[in-house]
Structure 1
Amino acid sequence: MNGIKQNLLFLKKRLTNFNMKNLKRLLLLIVVVIIVAVVYNYPKLNMISGYAAKNMASNVFIANRTAEAINKVDNNVPLIKLAKSKVDNKSKSATSSVYGLMSRKAVYRDGLGAVLVNDDYDPTKFTLQPHRDFTNTGLPFPYGNKKQKDTVFANIDYTKLLKAIGLGFSNPDVQKTRSTIVIYKDQIIAEQYDGGFTKDTKILGWSMTKSIVSTLYGILQCNGKLNVSQLAPIPEWKNDNRKNITYNHLLRMQSGLEWDENYTEISDATKMLFLESDMSLVQQNKDAIAKPTEIWNYSSGTSNLLSGLLKKKFNSHQEYLDFPYTSLIDKIGMHSMLIEADMVGNYVGSSYGWATTRDWAKFGLLYLHKGNWNGERIFDANWVDYVAKPTAHSNGTYGAHFWLNAEGRFPDVPKDMYYASGYQGQYVFIVPSKNLVVVRTGLATYPIFDLNGFLGGIVKAIK
């Protein structure tokens, strides 16, 4: 019995030692995995906290929404929800970090919006802001902000129309629609907002801002100050394989320049938006991977390059800041609009334009009227033909900083439809054959949001 007992004690001791060794090895393996994971994902924390801080500051100080709403909805998405954000109303700033790591700060500047700042930021160094003209015309919408006269069109099936609009709001957790407005023959025939949003709420258009940038080039060309067929005036390109790139190639995303547009990874696009103080130079410094027109490659860097190139057309930075407002935005009464600038004062033409739903609709109406705004010529009528002409290699889906339905991507919608489109489902649709403009904003995009069913239903409601 003693021998058996001793053997059992010996086995127990060996087993304990074995378990302890394995436990130590397991713990060591876990520590190694954690270290590897942290090292691999640490650069992402910069993007996560940067996005959270910037989105918080912009929504609070531009859209006048609450920090609670932003944390609950806008920033409550994969990865971004890991960040914790704090708002300082006194300094008009927001600070975010992920578990206390990689803290980022975004500061609001009057007239220029919120910007992510770094250690070089000096709030006293750059104090310029655009001059604005908020003159009230006293006219009904869209040429002013007075209420329109009630108008009933005999050729509109309002039951079908409301059903189509309701489709966008039918499943809030999936469709995530925030606002919709439908304008037919300059009359609002349907308008609806989700809880917390109204006709006065400014909404980020994301890449719809690209279409604003394109329009500014159309205005310059209309005024004889530029021709889009001209070479891009970049000295660094003159003696290499980028020397033949024109404004047209940039507007059509067919410059052949290298670019990675990916918002789920660390990419050229995310590094530009959340790390760079001068966003206009990122695409400029990229190599060419093809000759102009050989490929089509969607690039937010290209839009910010174009935004930066606009400065070359003016004698001062103040004139550059004023130009979008004096030539377009305030001229057509989009008084709610604000385009945010990067840390050195370049407009972030790829992504950061804010406006109410009604003001986004005014932009669509300007194109529906081929550049004529209540009798005043903003840009030439042929500019509309230019932006709506399909670009080679885009499969008929892209023009000049506008998206197209030329190849029937949306089969129940006329092929002449073209539109501004932004991240998470921001849209300004222009349908010339139906005399129609539709704006939809939200947090879900195609195909989660059924654009064909939504637009098709609206179109079918108009006989």
Structure 2
Amino acid sequence: MRRLIKRIGLVLLFLIIVICIAGVVNYPKLTILTGYSAKHMNSSVFIGERSVEFTDTEDNNFAPVHLADDEVNFEQKMSIASVFGLQERKAVYRKGVGSVLINDDFDENAPVVAPNRSKANTGLSYPYGDLPQKDTVFANLDYPKIKEAVHSIFDSNGEYVKKTRAVLVIYKDQIVAEKYIDGLDQTSKLPGWSMTKSILATAYGVLQKQGEISIHDKAPVEEWQNDERKEITIDDLLQMNCGLEWEEDYGSISDATKMLYLDTDMTKAQIDKDAIAKPGEYWYYSSGVSNLLSGILRKKMNSYQEYLDFPYREFIDKIGMNSMLIETDIAGNYVGSSYAWATARDWGKFGLLYLHKGNWNGTQIFNPEWVDYVTTPTPTSEGDYGAHFWLNAGGFYPDAPKDMFSANGYQGQRVFVIPSKELVIVRFGLIGDAGVDFNTFLQEITEAVQ
């Protein structure tokens, strides 16, 4: 009997040791997990204007984020997340600049500087104004085929696999298909995640048109001036071909997750990384590069207010993307890698701006050559990437046109621009290529344009 008790005791001790080791190993991950949950809950409620229940059951209902418990204080506009009471993280909403994870040093009473916004009343229909579009029927479109393609990318019959939330199809400036899940509609603001990178790149396109920069300028990073990194150009950063070390992994504690859920100033995350290749030799996707570019953009401005105003004044509000909001970090930098929200229709306007090579109803926002630049394949990317835009030049989607390019975001957010078909296709969801057959979806829609 004593032997049995001893053996049981040893087994229990072993299990306790295993559990403790697992806890020590995984405990640091909890701060990332609760950070994600608190931040996205706050943004969804106070920017997306959705309920806590909707966010819990839709946005944050995936492993392991679903383990977090969230509370929302509407008076303080604060969300709090923890897992079994551990690693509590807080996020607060600030009008005009969005939600941010806070730390013990955060001053909740400090004044918030917000961008100046404008909204023009053009008296025109979408996309150049807010009036309803006139009924237009294109003889060369197979409308039933488009409708079926759109229907097929949404879940049906109780499935929850494709997780599509919104689709918008625009042909020759006309909305020819539009569909949303229950609970969302054309006024719902949706997170673009890494589609924000393409918004950031557009700010550089405007600067280039204004003669304020050349993409071939050396990156003005003081920390790089005494080593080989001083040769890195703005072009190298936009093409993510700078040769700097970086780990972009959202399933672990990586450079990307530490930056987004731990850093106070996200523009610095990439600066201290070593060069592991010469510029132009090694393409690697890096959200750190995008936030570094956001920091460089800030330094180009004469004041912080000018930095905040610049993207809205120069193109976002100018093309009527009035629902868009780009969030900042604690240090006040636009999180150019990840945090822009807007309606599907406003994201569609962004695609149309590029379809029309920077011309918006007669106003040239950036030079036509900028589109040629961002759609030129980055060396070593195998035709998949340009300058903060994804490409189909390498045939990633084999049955879609090769001239297609897109703004892509986490969980399958997409703005596809297809010049040869005069199409812009917007898709929002909670899963990407792993669960959605984008190739067939794109093939069916493009084949419907005869």
- For residue 439 of structure 1, give the secondary structure of its aligned residue in structure 2: strand
Whole-angstrom CA distance in 2 between matches of 1:91 and 1:47: 23
Q: Show the counterpart of 1:422.
A: 409
| 1:129/1:321 contact within 8 Å kept | yes
Residue-by-residue CA offset, 1:267-289 (whole Å, 9 max, x unaligned): 00000000001000000111111
| 1:126/1:344 contact within 8 Å kept | no
Q: Show the counterpart of 2:181.
A: 194
Q: Show the counterpart of 1:92.
A: 77
Which amino acid in 1 is paired with 2:239? R
Residue-by-residue CA offset, 1:333-370 (whole Å, 9 max, x unaligned): 00000000000100000000000000000000000000
Residue-by-residue CA offset, 1:419-461 (whole Å, 9 max, x unaligned): 0000001000000000110000001111410101111100011
- For residue 273 of structure 2, give the secondary structure of its aligned residue in structure 1: coil
- For residue 115 of structure 1, give the secondary structure of its aligned residue in structure 2: strand
Q: Show the counterpart of 1:289.
A: 276
Over the aligned positions, Cα root-mean-square deviation in angstroms equals 0.8
| 1:425/1:446 contact within 8 Å kept | yes
Answering whether residue 148 of structure 2 is matched by residue 163 of structure 1, we say: yes
Q: Show the counterpart of 1:436.
A: 423
5+ residue gaps, structure 2: none
Q: Show the counterpart of 1:390.
A: 377
137, 145, 167: which is aligned to 2:130?
Answer: 145
How far does residue 380 in structure 1 lie from its aligned partner after superposition?
Answer: 0.1
Whole-angstrom CA distance in 2 between matches of 1:112 and 1:138: 29
Which amino acid in 2 is paired with 1:56? M
How far does residue 313 in structure 1 lie from its aligned partner after superposition?
Answer: 1.2
Which amino acid in 2 is paired with 1:430? V
Alignment of 1:334-373 (within 5 A): 334-373=321-360
Whole-angstrom CA distance in 2 between matches of 1:154 and 1:83: 52
Bigger Cα displacement from structure 2, 146-155 vs 405-414: 405-414
| 2:291/2:336 contact within 8 Å kept | yes
Which amino acid in 2 is paired with 1:383? W
Q: Show the counterpart of 1:75.
A: 60
Q: Show the counterpart of 1:323.
A: 310
How far does residue 31 in structure 1 lie from its aligned partner after superposition?
Answer: 1.1
Answering whether residue 139 of structure 2 is matched by residue 154 of structure 1, we say: yes
Whole-angstrom CA distance in 2 between matches of 1:219 and 1:169: 36
- For residue 149 of structure 1, give the secondary structure of its aligned residue in structure 2: coil
90, 97, 117: which is aligned to 1:105?
Answer: 90
Which amino acid in 2 is paired with 1:316? S
Answering whether residue 58 of structure 2 is matched by residue 54 of structure 1, we say: no
Which amino acid in 1 is paired with 2:373? Y
How far does residue 83 in structure 1 lie from its aligned partner after superposition?
Answer: 0.6
Whole-angstrom CA distance in 2 between matches of 1:371 and 1:324: 14
Count residues in correspondence: 448
293, 300, 303: which is aligned to 1:306?
Answer: 293
Residue-by-residue CA offset, 1:43-96 (whole Å, 9 max, x unaligned): 001001000000100000000001001111211111111110000000001000
Whole-angstrom CA distance in 1 between matches of 2:427 and 2:23: 39
Which amino acid in 2 is paired with 1:89? F
Bigger Cα displacement from structure 2, 134-143 vs 416-425: 134-143
- For residue 165 of structure 2, give the secondary structure of its aligned residue in structure 1: strand
Answering whether residue 6 of structure 2 is matched by residue 17 of structure 1, we say: no
Q: Show the counterpart of 2:361.
A: 374
TM-score by length of 2: 0.99
218, 221, 225: which is aligned to 2:212?
Answer: 225
How far does residue 136 in structure 1 lie from its aligned partner after superposition?
Answer: 2.3
Whole-angstrom CA distance in 2 between matches of 1:58 and 1:170: 25
- For residue 385 of structure 2, give the secondary structure of its aligned residue in structure 1: coil
Q: Show the counterpart of 2:244.
A: 257
| 1:84/1:98 contact within 8 Å kept | yes
Which amino acid in 2 is paired with 1:110? K
Q: Show the counterpart of 2:395.
A: 408
Whole-angstrom CA distance in 2 between matches of 1:265 and 1:53: 18
How far does residue 170 in structure 1 lie from its aligned partner after superposition?
Answer: 4.1
How far does residue 27 in structure 1 lie from its aligned partner after superposition?
Answer: 1.2
Q: Between Structure 1 and Structure 2, whose CA radius of gyration is higher?
A: 1
Q: Show the counterpart of 1:136.
A: 121
Whole-angstrom CA distance in 2 between matches of 1:284 and 1:374: 39
Percent identity of equivalent pairs? 56
Answering whether residue 92 of structure 2 is matched by residue 115 of structure 1, we say: no
- For residue 96 of structure 1, give the secondary structure of its aligned residue in structure 2: strand
How far does residue 123 in structure 1 lie from its aligned partner after superposition?
Answer: 2.4
Bigger Cα displacement from structure 2, 379-388 vs 28-37: 28-37
TM-score by length of 1: 0.96
- For residue 59 of structure 1, give the secondary structure of its aligned residue in structure 2: helix
| 1:180/1:440 contact within 8 Å kept | yes
Q: Show the counterpart of 1:462.
A: 449
